[in-house]
Structure 1
């Protein structure tokens, strides 16, 4: 079905409003959501959804925003679809007092951020800028991240809600909206109510370059290596002390460089130590292990254990324990069983006038876990770049294309029913 695309987008004004709210998540917190400030954005989104005319919009106790756009078609068999983005920003870089700046009509020259002149966006370091000549680029001021990851996706879905409600000629089935907290710390769907959503297919709006769609993610495990050493008074330690701190240091130094994040790319997996804590008697090393092939995660965990065995041969009084926790799995395993979900997404991107490109992502999204919870969920571009950094940026025009993609995708599911 053809329909007139919107001539007025609200995505930019929404985005500029949302990034001003600090929503950093906190991996050390035990609460849901991990920070109360995420609910500040959630309450604003509910207010705006209600103003749009979406009557059931609400924020639950865990910080999730749910809403429903009712079907406006006579067809009774249109599958329910869901659009999802996360509200939190990364704890890796400050998200407090974000000052967004729109750089109008980008001409290809370096963008020097005003509050820290050492923060410079250069085309050779941000290759997608070559596709943005004449577009309007949004950055932060140089002292914080921007929050395009994933407030670009939030703003795009919100604008699409506005457009769908105000353009009834776009026929669609029932559409569910889900905004999640704590995605950046791996808890984005811990408390989601899949039955409340009741959707057949989902789409996260959390990808990078315009036109890209991701149907494949890493599979991921967390590994904790607990080293039990031998403590002794340092003045009388000869022949007695076996420092767990030193043992941990040796183990980290022996990790294979060919399996490190800084030496892998494409479809290659890695072993990555992300934290060391402890004292002489006991030390802990936390790892993340990643690969597109879940079977290789067992190999990587075994590799850590084999290195520990080798090192501890020189420390006969010491031992270790290896703990493995599943984090998420490659969503392609599920999406391949429902090929139309990806096919319709690619068609929507093409109808938005973009070159559709199917990609794999060296990471995970809420969609990784949602797919294994019964909601197959690929990831569509949101236009965000340089995630988790002071040089994070997004273009106005890419966000508008994402809105168009959501509208086309909503219509395609109705057409195909």
Structure 2
């Protein structure tokens, strides 16, 4: 597309602005959004959408941003949506992010300036080997960067800016959705799909340049509650059964060479304790259970229950219960019913001069749940890497390719529908 070859991208400037706004979500909050500060970014996004001519852009009470790019074709084209999330992970501080641009990357180690112990080494970050000569953005070493998913936000915003400047480019109606709380699994809890009015969607929340993800984990959240026996520690012999020690023992006997994040990859699932708290009398362990296969996911629940039963045999006066809640399911089951979603995305990636890479993601996106809510939604690359940690990074050139791919998707849907 000739127009985009001459386009002055705004994605970097937008990204550098967005990452400085603290939008960390809170899994223990009962509100939507889980943190009010996420709306600070939402307001800025709405202002910027208005500034590029999208008059209906709005931020609702729950922290969702909706906007429309009107169709420029007379053809009947399904309404598509591009979606990214505004929050950053609770796993690492997102307060006071100071982005740093490492120009013309030379292929070696990148030392983060505020903490020289934070070093991006190509051996630890294999995708760096494809970035020589590109411009790499990191945080300063004291926080995460927030490329997950502010890269996606900036890319959708820049693509919208481009399309608004070029009404001669034919495309159908496009809806934009920016969500809160994706990182804590609640990103679409309050999304109004009737109001959105899209038939298909793409999240822009992927990693390697050119990748398209049509498969995610299926995911459950589990809480193991333990009731022990409390007594005065000075008179505890033969009487006390500490719930806290029982919980610790259960965690200690979980498999270490399998079924754990540290020892699995590719299509292997896991049982992962994420929090433990309690007292002598009562304790809880929170887990996330993950697998690409729903039957195997159910088996992980049985394994966890069996481990707890075995440990509890040594504590005859104590008891436990296991509560499991569904979080999301593998979106491939839905996406396989709509092959054009992937076919059109692959064509869009090729038109950007890239080779499409169809991948599975060891995680989930808003698209996982949207797909099962009636809005089929694969995930395309945003260029983000090493997310949820201080060594998070993104390439400026990869972000520009993501902008181009988003525009191409809109064009391909108009041409091939």
State the TM-score bracket (shorter-chain normalisation): over 0.9
CA distance in 1, matches of 2:231, 2:139: 52
TM-superposed CA distance for 1:141, in Å, is 1.2
Q: Is the 8 A contact 1:3 1:169 kept in 2?
A: no
Q: What is the TM-score of this pair, normalised by structure 2? A: 0.98
Match of 2:133 in 1: 134
SS at match of 2:3: coil
Partner residue, 1:45: 45
- CA distance in 1 between counterparts of 2:92 and 2:409 reads 34
* SS of match in other structure, 2:358: strand
More displaced 10-residue stretch of structure 1: 143-152 or 28-37: 28-37
Unaligned runs of 5+ in 2: none
2:211 maps to what in 1? Answer: 212
Match of 2:159 in 1: 160
> Is the counterpart of residue 36 in structure 1 residue 50 in structure 2?
no
8 Å contact kept, 1:63–1:180: yes
- C-alpha displacement at 1:329, in angstroms? 0.3
Alignment of 1:20-169 (within 5 A): 20-75=20-75, 77-169=76-168
Q: Which moved more, 1:114-123 or 1:49-58?
A: 114-123
Partner of 1:228: 227
Change (3 A) 1:78 1:3: farther
* Secondary structure in structure 2 of the residue aligned to 1:4: helix
Q: CA deviation at 1:109?
A: 2.1
Report Cα offsets for 1:34-74 as digits up to 9, x if no partner.
11111011000000000100110000000000001111101
- TM, length-normalised to structure 1: 0.98
How far has the Cα of 1:379 moved from its partner?
A: 0.5
How far 1:347 moved relative to its partner? 0.9
Shift of 1:231: 1.4
Correspondence list, 1:314-325, <5 A: 314-325=314-325
**In structure 1, how many angstroms separate the alpha carbons of the residues matched to 2:21 and 2:274?**
28
Q: 2 CA distance for matches of 1:238 and 1:392? A: 50
Q: Does 1:366 align with 2:360?
A: no
* Secondary structure class of the residue paired with 2:48: helix
Alpha-carbon distance in 2 for matches of 1:131, 1:22:
30
Distance in 1 of aligned mates of 2:373 and 2:288: 22
Shift of 1:236: 1.8
Q: What is the SS of the residue equivalent to 1:32?
A: coil
In the TM superposition, what is the alpha-carbon distance from 1:217 to its structure 2 partner? 0.3
* C-alpha separation in 2, matches of 1:389 and 1:227: 32
Q: Deviation per CA, 1:147-206, whole angstroms, max 9, x where unpaired?
A: 111000000000000000111121100000000011111111111001111111100000
Asked if structure 2 preserves the Cα contact closer than 8 Å seen for 1:84 and 1:177, the reply is: yes
The separation in 2 between residues aligned to 1:312 and 1:12, in whole angstroms, is: 55
Which residue of the partner structure matches residue 415 of structure 2? 415
Deviates more, 1:306-315 or 1:189-198: 306-315
1:260 and 1:100 mapped to 2: Cα distance? 33
Shift of residue 235, structure 1, vs aligned partner: 1.8
Matched-pair contact (CA < 8 Å) for 1:67–1:177 = yes
Contact 1:6 1:163 in 2 (8 A): no
2:178 is aligned with 1:179:
yes
Structure 1: state its 5+ residue gaps: none
1: distance between equivalents of 2:29 and 2:104?
Answer: 42
- Number of residue pairs the alignment of both structures matches: 415
Structure 1 residue 226, shift from structure 2 partner: 0.7
Residue equivalent to 2:298: 298
Whether the aligned pair in 2 keeps the contact of 1:159 and 1:403 (CA below 8 Å) is: yes
SS of the aligned residue for 2:385 comes to coil
d(CA) in 2 for partners of 1:98, 1:243: 42
Alignment check: 8 A CA contact 1:208 1:384 kept: yes
Distance in 1 between residues matched to 2:140 and 2:233, nearest whole Å = 50
Whether the aligned pair in 2 keeps the contact of 1:3 and 1:170 (CA below 8 Å) is no
Structure 1 residues 253-268: aligned runs within 5 Å: 253-257=252-256, 258-268=258-268
2:311 is aligned to: 311
In the TM superposition, residue 3 of structure 1 has moved relative to its aligned partner by: 4.9
**Could you tell me how far 1:4 is from its partner in structure 2?**
2.7
Task: Please state whether the residue corresponding to 2:4 is helix, strand or coil.
Answer: coil
Q: Secondary structure at the match of 1:245?
A: helix
- Between the aligned partners of 2:281 and 2:117, the Cα distance in structure 1 is 43
Distance 2:307 2:143 in 1: 39
Most deviating of 184-193 and 233-242: 233-242
**4+ aligned runs moved over 6 Å, structure 1:** none
Instruction: Give the equivalent residue in structure 2 for 1:250.
Output: 249
1:92 CA displacement: 1.3
